[in-house]
Amino acid sequence: MAKEKITGAMVVRRALEAEGVEYAFGMPGGTILPLYDALFRCERPKTVLIRHEQVGGHAAEGYAHATGKVGVCMGTSGPGATNLVTAIADAYMDSVPLVAITANVSRPLIGTDAFQEADITGITMPITKHNWLVTDPQDLPRVMKEAFYVARTGRPGPVLVDVPKDVLQAEIEWDGYPESVDIPGYHPPVREEPRLKDAALLVRSATRPIIYLGGGIRSADAHSEVLAFAELVGAPVVTTVHGKGAFPETSPQCLGMFGMHGTRYANYAVQNSDLIVALGARFDDRVTGKLSTFAPEAKIVHLDIDPAEISKLVTATVPLVGDVKRLLPQLTEEVRAAFAQHGKPDTSAWWKRVDDWRKKHPLRYEQDGQKYLLPQYVIETLWKKVGAKAIVTTGVGEHQMFAAQWWKTSAPRQFITSGGLGTMGFCLPSAIGIQLGRPGELVIGIDGDGSFQMTLQDLATAVDLELPIKIFVLNNLFLGMVRQWQELFYDRRFAGTPLPDRPNLVKLADAYGCLGLRADTPEQLDQVIDQALANSKGPTIVDVRVRRQEKVFPMVPAGAPLNDMIDGGGD
Amino acid sequence: MERTEEKPNGSTHTISLLVENKPGVLHRIAGLFSRRGYNIASLTVGPTERPEYSRMTIVVRLSSKPVEQVVRQVQKLVPVVEVRELSAHDLIERELMLVKINTPERNHAELRALAETYEATIVDVSPDALVVEASGNAGKLDALEDRLRTFGIQEICRSGRIALERGFKTLAPPNLK
């Protein structure tokens, strides 16, 4: 029987179908037209028309964060592809599985500076796990299979497949979608035997242990494994911003986020510990502070799936390379055995110190007597109303850190943010992807006025899709986080940070055909939250006017030791 | 991209890579070294016993970062099949050098004698210039270069280091043997 002949564009469609892709976020253009044509009226994957490719990238990230599946975004050649760069870099820093599909100019035009030509594989080499320029149509099924495989396995991350227009148009013999991949240089499994007994012995010997959770717990879906380990060891738990939700923050065992804007008690606990068990984390400078003074007495057990993260910044006493979901239960068993044999170390004195710090240096703010709303109050009020059931996403800036401090997250994939790259404009796009990935759930965006304005054109997309996302813009008419640094470190010279009071967000929402609300006082806040929650017909934008000079505390100044925090109570 | 930096210093390491013979692989590897601040002292690439793979030998100069970190970062690149640091005392290393010398004919005899000492050969002679070809390890070539300097070096071209480990060990991972 003669084999079926299909176009390259149809190969891409069948690959997306085979991978179970629900949504492909993008915007058509000259070179990607054959693919859009192949996806015409396709229900699964459904194309989602965004108004800027960066938004498509972040929406795919939000979808991937919220569901654990691979997100897909598309762009046409040239500017369509380069507009994806920020989102791809963001996904790379935060280990988000993402497949970006770009079209390029036809093969004879590549390298001729053709209209809308950009070397997108060259441009994205440093910010993808891998990328492909498909010049032989017969390679397309294999490349698509490899792309999804590389994106989701090992340490997840973004990949990019660049397909010239004439490859999308070319016909190939369809052999079916490949069932397996064979990439000789790609080894997500590890080769060294993990030293679990050594690690367990360190846990057994520690009297001031800390468990440090990063984004790897979410990637591996290892929450129950973490719970079992933490329960056995009984050590205080601290998290990164991407570790939020890896352990219930409402539990007394959890000290919340540590690092630059972490709690004082979490930072003190880390600095004074004699053992740090780091799980799925990478000792980013935002959590370690000045490296040479980081946790001076602590031995380090570092479990991560990426061998290159081991001893990159902080030397591991015992490295454990592997999948935390698979390895952590083994470590738990080894620790259980060590406890059974040698007894469990007494950590009561340690807990006493930790609790004293917690009592002495709580996170705090004082709304009473304030003329203006405080951002912390806004977030806590919102959290008290919807807390456990909402999925939160944020932009980047002060509002993001306030949210990280005050939004107590207790379940995985409930707190989604741009951590590593710190991409302003992430909130609205990611909310779109999250809501599509988890329909029927409550999606709350906590954004800033600067951050919101970077991607607000895609309110149109959210309205098109009737997504009932609720974006609370904590509006202080400043690029607040930068202003904070200027106030603290640049002698109050507010260069480029004051934002004029425009656009009028209520009118803007109206112009886009969605609900716009505004709150200036605690009473109004209460009311608009209820109104926003009651609106299920589409997006709601809430302009919340907050105190302009409010700063995020405590704070470790960049380059300072982790326990050298300024303001925010105590000392 | 030009990156301004202080004079390179630190220790050198020889790293051997087996990579897929595909377009763009050199770009990926060179880009990684550049963006992570690993100084390449030399880089060679050539075919291997299998046409689908190439072998690279990279001499890297590191001041603060441990070489293991370089190896692990390089290993993450998908087209890199295997990568290892070759230990300095278990290593056969060679480099090729061509030197063009601008010197009057009366010096040629002396040059020939010098070349012979270093197992080098004269591969081109014209009235006022000749070309010396030499191979060996970097130290030997450095020494020869030094001696040739007194004759007036006009142009020099060195290939960069290639290296293999002694004994039966090979770089290919088990699934490729």
Could you read off the pLDDT of B134-155 as tens digits, one per residue? 999 999 999 999 999 999 999 9
Cα distances (Å, whole numbers) of residue B131 to A10, A248, B100, B101, B135: 59, 74, 4, 6, 13
| A393 shares a domain with A354 | no
Q: Which residues of B touch A306 (CB under 8 A)?
A: 76
Q: How far apart are CA A468 and CA A230, in angstroms?
A: 37
A449 and A522 share one domain: yes
Best residue in A282, A309, A312 for a mutation probing chain B (most B CBs within 10 Å): A312
CA distance A430 to A425: 9
The tally of CA atoms less than 13 A away on the side-chain side of residue A125 is 20
Measured distance CA(B38)–CA(B54) in Å, rounded: 21
Q: Provide the 8-state DSSP code for A293.
A: G
Q: Using the 3D structure, point to which of A360, A392, A426 is the last residue of a domain.
A: A360
d(CA A28, CA A50): 10
Domain annotation covers residue A555 = no
Whether residues A420 and A395 share a domain: the answer is yes
A260/A123 same-domain check: no
**What distance in Å separates the CA atoms of residue A398 and residue A377, rounded to the nearest whole number?**
14
Same domain, A18 and A103: yes
Q: How wide is the angle at C-alpha A344 spanned by C-alphas A338 and A347, nearest 5°? A: 135
Residue in chain B nearest A131 by alpha carbon:
B78
Q: Provide the 10 A C-beta neighbour count for residue B36.
A: 14
Q: Could you tell me the two tokens for A286?
A: 């935002």
Q: What is the pLDDT along chain A (571 residues), one digit of tens a residue?
A: 678 999 999 999 999 999 999 999 999 999 999 999 999 999 999 999 999 999 999 999 999 999 999 999 999 999 999 999 999 999 999 999 999 999 999 999 999 999 999 999 999 999 999 999 999 999 999 999 999 999 999 999 999 999 999 999 999 999 999 999 999 888 755 667 889 999 999 999 999 999 999 999 999 999 999 999 999 999 999 999 999 999 999 999 999 999 999 999 999 999 999 999 999 999 999 999 999 999 999 999 999 999 999 999 999 999 999 999 999 999 999 999 999 999 999 999 999 999 999 999 999 999 999 999 999 999 999 999 998 899 999 999 999 999 999 999 999 999 999 999 999 999 999 999 999 999 999 999 999 999 999 999 999 999 999 999 999 999 999 999 999 999 999 999 999 999 999 999 999 999 999 999 999 999 999 999 999 999 999 999 999 999 999 999 999 999 999 999 998 544 3
- Residue A501's pLDDT is 97
Q: Where would I find the beta strands (DSSP E) of A39-80?
A: 46-49, 71-75
Does any domain span residue A186? no
DSSP-assigned beta bridge partners for residue B86: B14
Set A145, A165, A299, A470: catalytic member = A165
Run of H or E residues at B46: strand B39-47
**Cα angle value A111/A114/A117 (rounded, 5°):** 75
Structure tokens at B122: 């004269």
Place of tokens 């946790």: A295
The domain that contains A338 carries what CATH number? 3.40.50.1220
Instruction: Specify if A368 maps to a domain.
Output: no
Contact B75 A184 (CB under 8 A): no
Separation of CA A523 from chain center: 33
Which of B23, B32, B176 faces A184 most closely, judged by CB atoms?
B176
Six token digits for residue A166: 């004439």
Say whether pLDDT at B8 is over 90. no
Output the pLDDT for position B126.
87
Per-residue pLDDT for B5 more than 90?
no
- Residue A333: how many other CB atoms lie within 10 Å: 15
Residue B30, classed as helix, strand or coil, is helix
Whether omega for the bond prior to residue A503 falls within 30 degrees of 0, making it cis, is yes
Q: Which two tokens stand for residue B42?
A: 């030399």
Q: Assess whether A420 and A341 both reside in one domain.
A: no
Q: Which residue of A has its CA nearest to B82?
A: A185
**Max alpha carbon distance in chain B (Å)?**
59
For A423, the token pair is: 């991409």
Q: Which residue has the tokens 């590191």?
A: B62
Catalytic residue among A257, A481, A555, A565: A481
Asked if A185's CB is within 8 angstroms of B79's CB, the reply is yes
Instruction: Give the CA diameter of chain A.
Output: 82
A53 is catalytic: yes
pLDDT at res. A323: 94
Which among A185, A306, A307 has CB closest to B81? A185
Domain annotation for chain B: domains and CATH numbers: 11-86 (3.30.70.260), 92-162 (3.30.70.1150)
Which chain B residues have any C-beta within 8 angstroms of a chain A C-beta? 19-20, 23-24, 27-28, 31-32, 35, 66, 68-69, 72-73, 75-82, 173, 175-176
Contact A311 B68 (CB under 8 A): yes
SS3 state at A115:
coil
Task: Return all residues near B6 (Cβ < 8 A) that are at least 6 apart.
Answer: none
Closest CA relative to residue A75, chosen from A56, A88, A62:
A56
Question: B-chain residues within 8 Å CB-CB of A307?
Answer: 72, 75
Question: What letter would DSSP give residue A261?
Answer: T
DSSP states of A170-220: SEEE-----S----TT---S--SPP-HHHHHHHHHH-SSEEEEE-THHHHH
Looking at the structure, tell me whether residues A429 and A536 fall in a common domain. Answer: yes
Residue A180 resides in a domain: no
Q: Which two tokens stand for residue A53?
A: 């490719």
Q: Are A481 and A398 in contact (CB under 8 A)?
A: yes
CB contact under 8 A, B78 and A310: no
Q: Is the pLDDT of residue B6 over 90?
A: no
The answer to the question of residue A185 being in a domain is no
* Number of neighbours of residue B72 by Cβ within 10 angstroms: 19
CA dist A279 and A281 (Å) reads: 5
First vs last C-alpha separation in chain B: 39
Look at residue A571 in the predicted model and tell me its pLDDT: 38
How confident is the model at residue A67, as a pLDDT? 98
- The minimal CB distance from A122 to the residues B27, B77, B173 is found for B27
Interval A15-66: pLDDT, tens: 999 999 999 999 999 999 999 999 999 999 999 999 999 999 999 999 999 9
Q: Length of chain A in residues, anyone?
A: 571
Contacts of A126 in chain B (CB under 8 A): 31-32, 35
Three-state SS for A25-47 is EECCCCCCHHHHHHCCCCCCCEE
Contact at CB, B27 and A185, closer than 8 angstroms = no
**B145: burial class by Cβ within 10 Å (0-12, 13-18, 19+)?**
middle
Q: Assess whether the previous peptide bond of A28 is cis (omega < 30° from 0).
A: no
Cα separation, A177 vs A18, in Å, equals: 7
Contacts of B24 in chain A (CB under 8 A): 121-122, 125, 133
Rounded Cα distance between A346 and A212, Å, is 20
Q: How far apart are the first and last CA of chain A?
A: 81
pLDDT tens figures, A530-558:
999 999 999 999 999 999 999 999 999 99
Q: Which 8-state DSSP code applies to residue B89?
A: T
Q: Is A116 a catalytic residue?
A: yes
Q: How far apart, in Å, are the Cα atoms of A528 and each of A366, A373, A508, A542?
A: 21, 14, 17, 8
Is there a contact between B78 and A185 if contact means CB atoms under 8 Å apart? yes
Same domain as A220, residue A164: no
How many whole angstroms separate alpha carbon A446 and alpha carbon A398?
Answer: 10
Q: Letter for the amino acid at A506? A: V
Answer yes or no: is pLDDT of B173 > 80.
no
pLDDT of residue B1: 56
**Residue at a domain's end among A109, A140, A173:** A173
Our count of domains for chain A comes to 3
Residues A168 and A202 in one domain: no
Helix then strand then coil, % of chain B, to nearest 5:
25, 40, 35
> How many CA atoms within 13 Å lie on the side-chain side of B155?
6
Read off the amino acid at residue A36: Y
Both structure tokens of A21? 């892709």
**Which of B32, B73, B81 is facing A184, going by the closest CB pair?**
B81
Least confident interval from A137-146, A243-252, B26-35, B102-111: B102-111
A115 counts as catalytic:
yes
Q: Do residues A228 and A276 share a domain?
A: yes
The verdict on pTM exceeding 0.80 is yes
Q: Average model confidence (pLDDT) for chain B? A: 90
**Distance (Å, rounded) from C-alpha A18 to C-alpha A402?**
41
3 state SS of A240: coil
> Does any domain span residue A101?
yes
Q: Which residues of A489-522 are buried (b: 16+ CB within 10 A; e: fewer)?
A: eeeeeeeebebeeeeebeebbeebebbbbbbbeb
Nearest chain A residue to B65 by CA: give it: A312
Contacts of A81 (CB under 8 A, 6+ apart): A53, A75, A102, A104, A118, A120, A123, A162
In this prediction, residue B66 carries a pLDDT of 87
Residues A220 and A101 in one domain: no
Q: What token pair was written down for A407?
A: 């939004």
- Phi then psi for B38, rounded to 5 degrees? -95, 125
Instruction: Search chain A and give the residue with CA nearest B68.
Output: A308
Q: What single DSSP character describes residue A50?
A: -
Residue A60 and residue A9 in one domain? yes
Cβ-based contacts of B73 with chain A (< 8 Å) = 308
**CATH code of the domain in which A398 resides:** 3.40.50.970
Q: Nearest residue on chain A to B23, judged by CA atoms?
A: A133
At residue A30, φ and ψ (nearest 5 deg) are: -50, -50
What is the arithmetic mean of pLDDT over B95-120?
93
Strands (E), A297-425: 299-304, 318-321, 390-394, 415-416
Residue A570 has what pLDDT? 41
**What values do phi and psi take at A5, rounded to 5?**
-105, 130
| End-of-domain residue from the set A306, A328, A360 | A360
Out of A186, A310, A311, the one facing B78 most closely (by C-beta) is A186
Q: Please check whether residue B29 is in contact with residue B19, taking contact to mean a CB–CB distance below 8 angstroms.
A: yes
- Quote the domain boundaries for residue A280: 196-360
Contact A434, A443 (CB under 8 A): yes
